[in-house]
Amino acid sequence: MLPLRFVDRLKFFIERQFVKGAAFQLLVVALLIGLISVIGGLLVAPLGEPFDDLGAAIWWAFLRLTDPGYLGDDSGNWQRFVSTLLTVSGYVVFLGALVAILTRWLIAVMNDLERGLTPVSLKHHVVVLGWTSLTLPLLSELLGSSRRMRRFLEQHDTRRLRLVVLAAEVSANQMLALRNQEGIGSKVRQIILRSGLAIQPEALHRVACLQAAAVIIPSAAYGSESLVSADVETVKALLSIAAQARQLNTSLPFVVAEIQDLRKRAVIERAYPGAVEVVAGDSTISRLIVQNCLHPGLSELYNELLTAGEGNELYIRSGEPLAGLTLGEVASQRPAAIVLGLLRPAGNGWQACLLGSPGLTIAPADRLVMMARGYDDTEANSHGAPLAMVVPAAVAPCAQTAIRHRVLVLGWGRKVPALVAEFDSYAHRQFELDLVSVMPTAERERIIQRDTGELHHAQVRHLEADYMVEGALRRLKPWDYDTILLLSSDRLASGEEADARAMVGYLQLEELLMSAQRRPQVILELSDPDNQHLLGVHQGETIVSPMVMSHVLAQVALRRELRWALDELFTAGGAEFQFRDPDGYTLPADADFQRLEQAVADNGELALGLYRRQPDARGRRLRLNPPRDEPLDLEPGDRLVVLALT
């Protein structure tokens, strides 16, 4: 290698000083200003008067270098020439370099502050680890749960809710998205953004995980073949939180973690020794879809119970103030709520006892599961006469024969194996699944075999086709199926692109079914909440996965027992939401909802509401938890919504 010249060595030295930051850059500029002042002083010192000594000459040069106003005070050609050179150098070195260094330093400081690198100084706040499609609706849900949130804050001895979000990169676009999100708006000041990844220990310290009242970990999106899956990231984050707690000898916060693979629940619980609730995102959505296939129209019930907004929600109330009362007595004291049942302690969790008998006595450790429009409706009504005790009688579920059900699944995503496994869990149904995708059949078979193992009840057939091509969709003969599912693929770059493809496929499918003699049930899954209202009023059913999962995560964070009630309601076996024909019950023509409750309870079921054949002015068919004295006014095609044992 050739030896470096002196100039190259000097440039390398200056470069190394400049990359050390603003302090070293200012030091280099100060040395350069001093050097120029000395050179300027040496050039004018021989002139004598007015320069008594070399120090006065250097001071004269420094003044001309730093302030051009002295330029007119000089006399003599040589003195003016040197003064001009010094003034020009001052513009370049003193003003230009100094302003540039300070400006870059201020910009860097502002960028660091905007990136959210400073650790928060908070306690009893709620931390959301990750910016995903769930984050915006999740924050909106947390800010909108006023009564539940007040009780949550009271339990943690704090007055104001603070939300801290950890995102990979923090930008102004995220703040704009927060302000434009329905349910947040002016409440954006309660949200703090910090940059980093959930798998980085320093990022977890940045959001003060150990001081949080609750930590929510939504599942991120990764490719099906990625070695670092969202579940791996979740486990790493939990291990980091536990390690920090051991190092600082502090208690662990309560964590609600979403996972993709339900089989990793034991791994999550082993990785985190503190209080943790695990919500299987793909399995939850798959359960809703399968039950919607069994009971067409059920998506409207899920969208009401599991999304923020008007309508009914599920509430968990402590059994301590109700200890000694029977389930029937509690139900009769709450005319604006429907008591679904109990949760009873069982080991480290809870046992769901829904559809309990009227005489079941409530213990102090029990939790009541209710459906109501607001938290206040779950309180005892001290005004007016109590209702009659209407609680289902104990009736054994009827044996069911296998029923053939053909399902066409259009699209491929990571939740397809969970969807297939959920179909296979229904022993009394013979599901025939045709999976349509452009992905090669061998690859899909390998993924399903890896994730689900051997199937016992469902029959799966793989078809290679692009449903966006009209001819390929027509050759599938969609009108011959009982149910058609259009899935929002997570294999595309964004949720907007996936939903665009799914919605175009849906419109194309509707065009084909218009001329068909038989119309199957159509269910459309969307991954972007902003696309929920783009299709307007249509004949299919829509499930917005992020909206559902954000509600589940938020409500489980506020009341962890809710997860056990949801597992009971959304899995095969046990109590399920079902639709019933009114002709199967003895009802007078002028029956009201309370009379309907009694007739349904005689069959061991719990009446929840009505599903009208004709939608109302807002396009809604579902009428949950109506007033007890409201007449039913049943019309042909109307159905009853009940909670029944399968």
Question: What is the structure's pLDDT at 462?
Answer: 92
Task: Look over the chain and give the mean of its residue pLDDT values, rounded to a whole number.
Answer: 81
Same fold for the pair 15-113 and 403-545: no
DSSP string for residues in 131-183: -STTHHHHHHHHHH-HHHHHHHHHHTT-SS--EEEEESS--HHHHHHHHHSTT
Q: Would you state the pLDDT for residue 507?
A: 86
Beta bridge partners of 338: 371
- Per 3-state DSSP, the chain is made up of helix, strand and coil in percentages (nearest 5) of 45, 20, 35
Going from N- to C-terminal start, the domains of the chain cover 15-113, 126-274, 403-545
Could you tell me if 37 and 65 are in contact, meaning their C-beta atoms sit under 8 angstroms apart? Answer: yes
**CA angle in degrees (0–180, nearest 5) for 83-86-90:** 135
Q: Is the pLDDT of residue 418 over 70?
A: yes
Q: How far apart are CA 619 and CA 236, in angstroms?
A: 45
Q: What residue type is assigned to position 266 of the chain? A: A
CB 541 within 8 A of CB 524: yes
> Which two structure tokens, joined as six digits, stand for 81?
């020439």
Taking the whole predicted model, whether its pTM rises above 0.95 is answered as no
What is the DSSP code (8-state) at residue 416? H
Q: At the top level of CATH, which class does the domain 403-545 belong to?
A: alpha beta
Strand partners, 427: none
CATH T-level topology, domain 126-274: Rossmann fold (3.40.50)
For the chain, percent of residues with pLDDT exceeding 90: 7
> How would DSSP label each residue in 57-119?
HHHHHHHHHH-GGGGGG--SHHHHHHHHHHHHHIIIIIIIIHHHHHHHHHHHHHHHHHHT-SP
What is the rounded distance in angstroms from the CA atom of residue 347 to the CA atom of residue 342?
16
Rounded to an integer, the average pLDDT of 233-238 is 88
Residue 1 has pLDDT above 50, yes or no: no
- Per the listing, tokens 């000395």 go with 38
pLDDT at residue 584, as a whole number = 85
pLDDT 10s digits, 81-126: 777 777 777 777 777 777 887 788 787 777 766 666 788 888 889 9
pLDDT tens for 525-582 read: 888 777 766 665 566 788 888 888 888 888 888 888 888 888 888 776 778 888 888 8
The region that residue 369 occupies, defined by phi over 0 for left and psi between -120 and 50 for alpha, beta otherwise, is beta
Q: What is the pLDDT of residue 637?
A: 86
Handedness of CA 32, 34, 36, 39 (dihedral sign): negative
Dihedral angle, C-alpha 174, 179, 182, 186, nearest 10 °: 140
Digit-coded pLDDT (tens) for 134-178: 888 888 888 877 667 777 777 777 778 889 999 888 887 888 888
Q: Domain 15-113 is of which CATH architecture?
A: Orthogonal Bundle (1.10)
Amino acid (one-letter) located at 267: V
Residue 384 scores a pLDDT above 50: no
Q: What whole-number distance in Å separates Cα of residue 646 and Cα of residue 641?
A: 14
Give the integer Cα–Cα distance in Å for 245 and 585: 58
State residue 85's pLDDT score: 79
